[in-house]
Amino acid sequence: MQTQINDLVIHVYGHASAHPDLVAQCFSGVVPEQTSGDADLAIFAIDPSAGIDQDTIDQWLELDEYQIPRLVVVTGLEKQEADFDDAVMIANRVFDQMATPYLVLHDDGGYPVALISLQDLTIINYETVPATMNASETEHQTLVQEFRDEYLELVQSLGEGSFAAGLMFPAIPLWIEKGIGVDIVKSFISEL
Q: What CATH number should be reported for the domain holding residue 182?
A: 3.40.50.300
Kindly compute the dihedral angle of the four CA atoms of residues 142, 148, 47, 31, in this order, to the nearest 10 degrees: 150
Position 124 in a domain: no
Position 153 in a domain: no
Q: pTM of the predicted model, to two decimals? A: 0.94
pLDDT bucket at 26, cuts 50 / 70 / 90 = very high
What is the extent of the structural domain holding 163? 4-102+158-189
pLDDT bucket at 6, cuts 50 / 70 / 90 = low
Position 163 in a domain: yes
Q: Cα angle vertex 70, ends 168, 156, to 5°?
A: 10
Give the percent of the chain with pLDDT over 90.
88
Pairing label, strands 41-46, 102-106: unpaired
Which segments of 18-121 are extended strands (E)? 41-46, 70-74, 98-99, 102-106, 112-117
Using the predicted structure, report yes or no on whether residue 68 has a pLDDT greater than 70. Answer: yes
Position 39 in a domain: yes
